[in-house]
A and B are shown apart, each in its own frame.
Chain A
Amino acid sequence: MTQETLKVTIDRGPDTAHVQTVFDVPAYTNQTVLDVVSWVQQNADPTLSYRYACRVGMCGSCAMMVNGVPRWTCRTHISKVLRGNAVTIAPLRNLPVIKDLAVDMDPFFDKWVAAEGVHHGALTRDDPIAPVDTSTAARAVADAGIECINCSVCYAACDTVTANDDYLGPAALQRAWTLLNDAKDDGRAAILDAVSDKGGCHNCHSIGSCTTYCPNDLDPMSAIAGLKRETAKSLFQRWR
């Protein structure tokens, strides 16, 4: 039996913008997009740059554009994305390219912090550990959002991020919403202020690419809608 080959086109940037290299990669029955990229780097072109760590969908470092769609490559089977026997792989959208398939994630994480996606503690080490009531609706919301792996797939999928460089983006805003619903976080005022500014949740057009493409089935669009409701409510409370 002759082994089939895949025609894999990979973007090579940023110095050689829009230059692509085509590789012939042997097909295997069980092969992810990340396996394909790794094969190229190990067997065809050792200068190819890309990023991964866990290979099991935990670390969020392997996201790339696959045929124009943002995906976690370690958990995407190549057979799902092949067109004929061809596939095109490019660096994640909406972030500066460092080299080839590796992007600079700094803007993504800077916005995470700008959205107050940091822990706001109220207790000291001398206080007893506060119990968490797992039965509340707010806890269910926080538990959902906590599953985010910071992969930036939603950020790459969002056209509002593309059009408006100030926009904090779906992942950071969802993190803010998660903390707002977390009984252990004491940053309510700071969070509401941060997401009400010019790059905040009110710029979202609720088109939902973030929710469509999140590999973990999270729902940043609804989280952002929650922030819009909370900020509006807090405004009325201030007026009263």
Chain B
Amino acid sequence: MLNLRLYMLQRVTALLMAPLVLGHLAVMIYAVQGGLSAGEILGRTQGSILWFAFYGTFAAAVAVHGAIGLRSIACEWVGLRGRALDAFMWLTGLSLFAMGARAVWAVTFA
């Protein structure tokens, strides 16, 4: 159910997410303590390539990592196999990515 390629993709995205999660938490705490309003936050993220790259990478990594993890669960606990399992993984990954990308776009460029 997991071959080497999926396994490595999941490990690499985990490595990517580790610093991003820490960065995300740090920014959240900073924003709350500094008492930044939503408007002020948007003022800093809008048009920022840096924030787009940060959260864009995050959303993509989450989509890949989550879809592969849920694939294992769907196989071992729900009994999905073969094509159905692949379809489930792609659907999960694409939906996660669509939701993440929509949010990233909204705070950076929309």
B10 to chain A: closest residue by CB: A202
Q: List A contacts of B2 (CB < 8 A).
A: 198, 200, 202-203
Q: Mark A122-141, 1 if CB is under 8 A from B, else 0.
A: 00000000000000000000
A202 to B8, CA, bound (A): 9
Query: B residues bordering A, Cβ < 8 Å?
Result: 1-4, 6-8, 11, 72, 75-77
A60 to B75, CA, bound (A): 31
Q: Which residues from 184 to 203 on chain A have a C-beta closer than 8 Å to any C-beta of chain B? A: 196-200, 202-203
Q: Is there contact, CB below 8 Å, between B75 and A228?
A: no
Asked if A232 is at the interface (CB within 8 A of a chain B CB), the reply is yes
Q: Is the interface of B mostly helix, strand, loop or mixed?
A: helix
Q: List A contacts of B75 (CB < 8 A).
A: 163-164
Query: A residues bordering B, Cβ < 8 Å?
Result: 160, 163-164, 166-167, 196-200, 202-203, 228, 231-232, 235
A198 to B75, CA, bound (A): 12
Interface-centre pick from B4, B8, B72, B75 (highest chain A CB count, 10 A)? B4
A21 to B7, CA, bound (A): 46
Out of A163, A197, A199, A231, which one reaches B76, CB within 8 Å?
A163
17 contacts between A and B (CB under 8 A): A160-B76, A163-B76, A163-B77, A167-B1, A196-B3, A197-B3, A197-B4, A198-B1, A198-B2, A198-B3, A200-B2, A202-B2, A202-B6, A231-B4, A232-B4, A232-B8, A232-B11
B3 to chain A: closest residue by CB: A198
Please give 4 more A-B residue pairs, beta carbons under 8 A apart, in addition to A167-B1, A202-B2: A164-B76, A198-B3, A202-B3, A203-B2
